[in-house]
Structure 1
Amino acid sequence: MMSSARRTCGRPRRCARAIAALLAAALLDGCMLGPDFVRPAPPQADRYTQEPLAATIAADGQAQQFAPGAALPADWWRLFGSAPMNGVVEQALARNPTLQSAEASLRQSQDNLRAGYGIFFPSLDAGLSATRMRSAPQQQGSTNEATVFNVVTASGVISYPLDWFGGERRAVEGLAAQVDLQRNAGRAAYLTLSANVVDACIARAAYAAQLRATEQLIALETEQLRSVEAQVDAGTTPYAAILSQQALIAGNQAQLAALRQKISQAEHLLALLMGSLPEQAALPDIALDSLALPATLPLSLPSELVRQRPDILQAEARLHAASADIGVATAAMFPSLSLSATYGSAGSKPGNFLAAGNRFWGIGPALTMPLFHGGSLWYGRQAAIDAYRQQEANYRQAVLQAFGQVADALNALQHDAQALQAQRDARDAAAGALQLLQANYRAGLVAYLDVLSADIQLHGADIAYLQAVAQRQQDTVALLAALGGGWWNAAAGAGEGAAP
């Protein structure tokens, strides 16, 4: 009987030791539940448009070459060769509140990540309390008289959660993804700001050039009006010709007011982008013809675009965070284990609470096992999976939009070159017609009114030409921005103002 009892008692002890060994191994090794994030593969494409584009046609004496794989400088606006515009961009990058907000958001996410790393270290807390109390012995069924006494307690607690199933590590992984998200949000803000500044500078210069051309046109139309009035006085032309000429002048004067308004709006936009009030901004005069058209345009390979566009990288970071959330939700369905220890002393006054008999301590593990939560943990994990699938679709959409924007910009530059060349031909034809009429007028073969009409046509063609020049410049900006702005080359020695 005794031997049988010993065998019966020995088995539980061996089982307990085995279970303890397995528990220790599990605590040491641990595991991370949920999917390990893998960056999405780039699209299988070797070009952006259906037809390969090597260069635009020559327009206004210049073609633009596309250089696949060439490095795009981080300070890409310097390709336009305008020192005044470079200064405006640099001021905006230094003072723009939106960019400063993005930088603060990045620092916040980095600090949140540093705070999240604290979960991997034991936490130590100390407490000190002093309480004066009055007991009520009747609460314990005693007939003794109530007493008043003091309790002074000092204690220290150390605890450490064992990340058995990787929930805490997945949470920190999600915080790291948030850092990537905010870093690329800052890059996106940087790219948007610089592109908007360059666009506004080009628009302002184009509006100013069109304003000058329109003023010259109105001056010619006014001179033509005086000629028409003289012909009406002589009885060779009906009075309706005066009204027609006045209507033409009034229409162009309305265009003059609209151009002045557009110039003001561009200047106000530049002031805001530079972090200044509109009345305080000091903007340099930038002539449209002082802006050089970049002759060679770097063109990122399609496989590289998804690693360079800040908006795509933001979508990837959101996808990574959603993947980590699945691991957090999965670990919440499993037991959690923590170790804690307490040591302290208590007494009736500060002078005796450190006595050996007043000390207390405790140590041990705590295991929490979810048993029934009404399906909240299960469906919480399903919601995390659904959120991941949503971000996966958002990522694909971001890639499609990026490729579409690059394709649009490439085709736009080709069409801009065609339109610009057509406007240049129209302007040259109008200039040639004016020269012939001027020669005929000097020979007495045509009336001066015909010469003025030809001059008006030339100025109209000149305004359309200026619009085409500005459009080509702005679509060049659109392509450089659609390619990501070259922030990844900042460390390779980009100029002042380059993205970090």
Structure 2
Amino acid sequence: MSFPYKTSVLAVAAALAISACSFGPSGEPPAMPSPEHYGAQAQPAKTVAAGGVAQTFDVGATTGPQWWRLYHCAALDALVDEGLRNSPTLAATQKTLASAQEQLRAQIGSSTLPSIDGAAQVQRARSPVAPQLGLPEQVQYNFFAGQLQAHYTFDLFGQTRYANSASAARVNVQAFELEASRRALAANIVAATINVAALDREIALTERLVAVSNDAANEDAQRYALGAVSRAQAFGSKQDAASIAATLPALRQQRATAVHALAVLIGRTPDNAPSVPDLDSLSLPEHVPVTVPSDLLRSRPDIQAADAAVKAAAADVGEATAQLFPSLSLTGAMGRGGFSWPAVVSGAGGLWAIGASLSQPIFHGGALFAQRRASIDAYDAAVLHYKATVLSAFEDVANSLAALDNDAQTLASTEDAAEAARSAFHDTASRHRLGSLPSAATHASETRYLNALITAARAAGQRMGDTAALFQAMGELPEAQQASASTAKTGRS
């Protein structure tokens, strides 16, 4: 008599042990290398001085939430604020996230709590009967009923828990993607503003260059008419002036395209494009953060999204495994019913029902096992995608750090060249005023000076844009983690 009892106890114990086990991977992301520095060579402590600024790389620092304010330009701040406030793309992403969060709440509520529904029925019916029983050929009657129905499925093996965990992780993916979109929008607005400002300066210098070239061509044409220069030199000057003038429409088109894109980024139509600050009104940030690799895994929203995707895929494996095990459901109902209202409210009108159902998958044509194998493959793919995302993030930071160092050297060289060209131009202009040099020499010297200034303007814009790219590449730690990282840095100091 004790053998069946012991068997039942062992069966219950086994079921509890199985339900306590994890049916899927832990969902923790794979360990990634933590290099001492990002690039092939360690970045210097600071760049060379260029444009009056030697940028310092603050190792261990983190990017602030409004890093664009480090350019100290109120007009730029206003453009970014307007974009974050009015961008329809960002607003659509926010609404998509809000929808996903509400759907998750609905899924958790419907799957973890009993469902209770109310039902009422009123019916008028007529039924035929046999006349030989001494009853009328037809019977007409009324029927009234009202009841509450309840249903609950026990999550014995965690199928519901895993499904909800997967959905919650996917909502987290969308939340991190929203943060990535927000940061990308700010970075794009800053980059577009810098690009337009640099183009404005280049266009102004090119317009002056065109004027100088036209003056030189007109003078050579007059001198050719007087027989002072050859025909070849006169046409050569005219060709040079026309070639320089041909670059202006392309620059103006680049500027129009950039300012139209900026208008759309901040939520305006292209015909209502904003005014852009001058390049000189933008201050290059002197201190740029270099987040350590271990913190970069938590500061970059794309890495956090890949981490959440790994957790979702791990929960999918658990859910697919739990589908192989039994499912237990309880149903119950209670209410009142009868063929007349007095009968409904009397003691004889009570209705109730209770039941339980247990189902165990036996044969599904291999579908359940195939779904589990597919979930495992999807999990492996999510892990590999996480690794690729981390490596790509390291590459972004390495390229940005190298770009800032090289940009500073480029700008320093172009500034030296522009200063030499300026000195030569002033010397040539002075000698021309004294009558020792012809005007052609002055035009040629000013042309070289203007070309040097154009090259320096491009280098300055590139350096500012690459600085914004580095802030974007570093991501942003949550406030609590920022405080922790700051404390750790102080302790190391």
Tell me, yes or no, whether TM beats 0.5: yes
In structure 2, do the counterparts of structure 1 residues 160 and 372 end up closer, same or farther at CA, with 3 Å as the change threshold? same
| 1:47 aligns to 2:37 (yes or no) | yes
Worse-matched range after superposition: 59-68 or 291-300: 59-68
In structure 2, do the counterparts of structure 1 residues 440 and 406 end up closer, same or farther at CA, with 3 Å as the change threshold? same
Name 1:407's counterpart in structure 2: 398
How big is each residue's C-alpha offset from its partner over 1:92-119, in whole Å with a ceiling of 9 and x where there is no partner? 0001111111211221222122222212
In the alignment, the residues of structure 2 paired with residue 490 and residue 195 of structure 1 have an alpha-carbon distance, to the nearest angstrom, of 24
Worse-matched range after superposition: 468-477 or 120-129: 120-129
Alignment check: 8 A CA contact 1:124 1:158 kept: yes
In the alignment, the residues of structure 1 paired with residue 172 and residue 311 of structure 2 have an alpha-carbon distance, to the nearest angstrom, of 9
How big is each residue's C-alpha offset from its partner over 1:182-227, in whole Å with a ceiling of 9 and x where there is no partner? 1101100101100000001000100100111011111111221221
Alignment check: 8 A CA contact 1:33 1:167 kept: no
Name 1:291's counterpart in structure 2: 282
* C-alpha displacement of 1:165: 0.2
**What RMSD in Å do the two structures reach over aligned CA positions?**
2.5
Amino acid at match of 2:39: T
| 1:383 aligns to 2:378 (yes or no) | no
Worse-matched range after superposition: 239-248 or 262-271: 239-248
Alignment check: 8 A CA contact 2:47 2:56 kept: yes
Name 2:312's counterpart in structure 1: 321
In the alignment, the residues of structure 1 paired with residue 211 and residue 224 of structure 2 have an alpha-carbon distance, to the nearest angstrom, of 20
Name 1:468's counterpart in structure 2: 459
Name 2:168's counterpart in structure 1: 176
Q: Kindly report which structure 2 residues correspond to 1:55-66, keeping only aligned pairs within 5 A, or say none.
A: 55-66=46-57
Alignment check: 8 A CA contact 2:30 2:383 kept: no
How many residue pairs end up in the alignment?
477
In the alignment, the residues of structure 2 paired with residue 110 and residue 268 of structure 1 have an alpha-carbon distance, to the nearest angstrom, of 35
Amino acid at match of 2:394: F
In structure 2, do the counterparts of structure 1 residues 173 and 443 end up closer, same or farther at CA, with 3 Å as the change threshold? same
Alignment check: 8 A CA contact 2:29 2:386 kept: no
Name 1:432's counterpart in structure 2: 423
Amino acid at match of 1:359: G
- Match for residue 167 of structure 1 among 159, 177, 181: 159
In the alignment, the residues of structure 1 paired with residue 241 and residue 129 of structure 2 have an alpha-carbon distance, to the nearest angstrom, of 105
- Match for residue 145 of structure 2 among 137, 153, 158: 153
In the alignment, the residues of structure 2 paired with residue 77 and residue 250 of structure 1 have an alpha-carbon distance, to the nearest angstrom, of 40
Q: Kindly report which structure 2 residues correspond to 1:88-103, keeping only aligned pairs within 5 A, or say none.
A: 88-103=79-94
* C-alpha displacement of 1:171: 1.0
How big is each residue's C-alpha offset from its partner over 1:279-315, in whole Å with a ceiling of 9 and x where there is no partner? 234x234111111111111110011111111111111
In the alignment, the residues of structure 1 paired with residue 75 and residue 316 of structure 2 have an alpha-carbon distance, to the nearest angstrom, of 48
Amino acid at match of 1:183: A
Name 1:310's counterpart in structure 2: 301
* C-alpha displacement of 1:371: 0.7
Name 1:125's counterpart in structure 2: 117
SS in 2 for 1:196: helix
Alignment check: 8 A CA contact 2:196 2:276 kept: no
- Match for residue 115 of structure 1 among 106, 109, 112: 106
In the alignment, the residues of structure 2 paired with residue 144 and residue 351 of structure 1 have an alpha-carbon distance, to the nearest angstrom, of 24
- Match for residue 206 of structure 2 among 201, 214, 220: 214
Q: Gaps (5+ residues) in structure 2?
A: 484-493
Alignment check: 8 A CA contact 1:335 1:370 kept: yes
Alignment check: 8 A CA contact 2:193 2:276 kept: no
Worse-matched range after superposition: 27-36 or 60-69: 27-36
* C-alpha displacement of 1:145: 4.5
Worse-matched range after superposition: 332-341 or 144-153: 144-153
- Match for residue 4 of structure 2 among 12, 15, 31: 15
* C-alpha displacement of 1:24: 9.3
SS in 1 for 2:156: coil
| 1:340 aligns to 2:331 (yes or no) | yes
In the alignment, the residues of structure 2 paired with residue 24 and residue 156 of structure 1 have an alpha-carbon distance, to the nearest angstrom, of 35
In the alignment, the residues of structure 2 paired with residue 462 and residue 392 of structure 1 have an alpha-carbon distance, to the nearest angstrom, of 50
In structure 2, do the counterparts of structure 1 residues 104 and 490 end up closer, same or farther at CA, with 3 Å as the change threshold? farther
What is the aligned-residue identity percentage?
35
How big is each residue's C-alpha offset from its partner over 1:358-410, in whole Å with a ceiling of 9 and x where there is no partner? 33222232101111101000110000001101111111111111111111111
Q: Gaps (5+ residues) in structure 1?
A: 1-9, 494-500
Name 1:247's counterpart in structure 2: 239
Amino acid at match of 2:156: W
SS in 1 for 2:337: strand
- Match for residue 195 of structure 1 among 187, 190, 193: 187
TM-score between the two structures when normalised by the length of structure 1: 0.89
In structure 2, do the counterparts of structure 1 residues 102 and 338 end up closer, same or farther at CA, with 3 Å as the change threshold? same
Alignment check: 8 A CA contact 1:45 1:303 kept: no
Alignment check: 8 A CA contact 1:187 1:487 kept: no
* C-alpha displacement of 1:175: 1.8
In structure 2, do the counterparts of structure 1 residues 345 and 27 end up closer, same or farther at CA, with 3 Å as the change threshold? farther
Name 1:496's counterpart in structure 2: none
* C-alpha displacement of 1:22: 5.8
Amino acid at match of 1:396: K
In the alignment, the residues of structure 2 paired with residue 487 and residue 103 of structure 1 have an alpha-carbon distance, to the nearest angstrom, of 20
In structure 2, do the counterparts of structure 1 residues 352 and 243 end up closer, same or farther at CA, with 3 Å as the change threshold? farther
Amino acid at match of 1:237: V
In the alignment, the residues of structure 1 paired with residue 353 and residue 189 of structure 2 have an alpha-carbon distance, to the nearest angstrom, of 65
In the alignment, the residues of structure 1 paired with residue 337 and residue 16 of structure 2 have an alpha-carbon distance, to the nearest angstrom, of 34
Q: Kindly report which structure 2 residues correspond to 1:57-96, keeping only aligned pairs within 5 A, or say none.
A: 57-96=48-87
* C-alpha displacement of 1:129: 1.6
In the alignment, the residues of structure 1 paired with residue 378 and residue 482 of structure 2 have an alpha-carbon distance, to the nearest angstrom, of 38
Alignment check: 8 A CA contact 1:433 1:454 kept: yes
| 1:488 aligns to 2:481 (yes or no) | no
| 1:355 aligns to 2:355 (yes or no) | no
SS in 1 for 2:364: coil
* C-alpha displacement of 1:17: 8.6
TM-score between the two structures when normalised by the length of structure 2: 0.90
In the alignment, the residues of structure 1 paired with residue 395 and residue 410 of structure 2 have an alpha-carbon distance, to the nearest angstrom, of 22
SS in 2 for 1:352: helix
Name 1:38's counterpart in structure 2: 28
* C-alpha displacement of 1:439: 3.2
In the alignment, the residues of structure 1 paired with residue 197 and residue 268 of structure 2 have an alpha-carbon distance, to the nearest angstrom, of 20
Amino acid at match of 1:19: S
In the alignment, the residues of structure 1 paired with residue 217 and residue 141 of structure 2 have an alpha-carbon distance, to the nearest angstrom, of 110
In the alignment, the residues of structure 1 paired with residue 320 and residue 17 of structure 2 have an alpha-carbon distance, to the nearest angstrom, of 22
* C-alpha displacement of 1:72: 1.6
